[in-house]
């Protein structure tokens, strides 16, 4: 078994993990960062959060304006434009993912390991990679693994190609003709707005009678009005 000894081990190469790793390395500490998915170097925002969604929002607004220039839209044009938007999004995410990786991994006193970490004891981690199990011993271990989506209990949800989390939907290769979104919070409504602009028929399902319940009522009302203009259906309760 290959073994690593380090001052600090950080589980998770997200916003917190990369920032802390860089700061500790500058202070002369040896740091080992462990990340289970190479797709997540840099964290949620640049890989499956604000950056890809804002890229798609921008692209969707472009196609939504085509009619202003006398260009007639149809499902084929919508899907072709959606594919191009997804390709651009992927290119952008890949570029920033690599930049974030090298910003930390190229530091002399930082080691990045790809694998799933679990504790052996208070100062020892076992890291399961694709080919072997590594051992990391550290004076301090920091957990920065983030969170996961809450998924309702659907029958056969694991086997259905039509049920997606907010991360999985960012990997679609074709524009869905119809899209149902569970949850009228900021994430759900952002997806609703740009998929509607791309040309999908969108319905949002909310468990109560409130749209964006944590936001100002006037703001929520304005957002609801805009969604209705885009053809989005909101089903409350």
pLDDT tens track for 16-45: 999 999 999 999 999 999 999 999 999 999
8 Å CB contact between 5 and 135:
no
| pLDDT(156) > 70 | no
Residue 90 maps to a domain: yes
My answer on whether 126 and 183 are in the same domain is no
For residues 71-97, average pLDDT:
95
Res. 158: pLDDT tops 70: no
Residues 20 and 124 in one domain: yes
Same domain for 205 and 119:
no
Same domain, 17 and 126: yes
Structure tokens at 214: 């944590």
Q: Are the C-beta atoms of residues 197 and 61 closer than 8 Å to each other?
A: yes
Same domain (yes/no): 135, 184: no
Domain around 17:
3-143
Q: Are residues 137 and 181 located together in one domain of the fold?
A: no
- Residue 100 and residue 7 in one domain: yes
Average per-residue pLDDT for the chain: 94
CATH number, domain at 136?
3.50.50.60
Q: Count how many domains the chain has.
A: 2
pTM of the model: 0.88
* pLDDT at residue 160 is higher than 90: no
157 pLDDT exceeds 70?
no
Instruction: Tell me what percent of the residues of the chain surpass a pLDDT of 90.
Output: 82
Q: Among 94-103, 125-134, 154-163, which stretch is predicted with the lowest mean pLDDT?
A: 154-163
Q: State whether 119 and 202 are in the same domain.
A: no
As beta bridge partners, residue 9 has 32, 141
Residues 100 and 53 in one domain: yes
Nearest to 4 by CA among 116, 127, 143: 127
Q: Is residue 110 a part of any domain in this protein?
A: yes
Q: Is 131 helix (H, G, I), strand (E, B) or coil?
A: coil
- Residue 71: its pLDDT value, please? 82
Domain membership flag for residue 16: yes
């Amino acid at each position: 078994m290959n073994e690593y000894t380090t001052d600090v081990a950080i589980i998770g190469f997200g916003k917190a993990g990369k920032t802390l790793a860089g700061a500790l390395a500058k202070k002369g500490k040896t740091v080992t960062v462990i990340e289970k998915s190479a797709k997540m170097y840099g964290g949620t925002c640049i890989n499956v959060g604000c950056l890809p969604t804002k890229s798609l929002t921008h692209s969707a607004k472009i196609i939504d304006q085509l009619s202003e220039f006398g260009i007639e839209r149809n499902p084929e044009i919508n899907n072709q434009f959606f594919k191009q938007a997804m390709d651009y999004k992927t290119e952008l995410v890949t570029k920033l993912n690599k930049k974030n990786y090298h910003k930390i991994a190229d530091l002399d006193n930082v080691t990045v390991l790809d694998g799933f970490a679990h504790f052996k004891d208070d100062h020892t981690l076992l890291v399961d990679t694709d080919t072997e199990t590594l051992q990391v011993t550290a004076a301090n271990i920091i957990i920065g693994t983030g969170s996961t989506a809450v998924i309702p209990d659907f029958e056969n949800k694991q086997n259905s190609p039509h049920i997606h989390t907010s991360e999985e939907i960012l990997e679609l290769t074709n524009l869905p003709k119809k899209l149902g979104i569970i949850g009228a919070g900021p994430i759900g409504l952002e997806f609703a707005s740009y998929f509607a602009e791309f040309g999908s028929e969108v319905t949002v399902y909310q468990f109560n009678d409130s749209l964006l319940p944590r936001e100002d009522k006037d703001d929520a009302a304005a957002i609801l009005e805009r969604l209705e203009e885009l053809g989005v259906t909101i089903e409350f309760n």
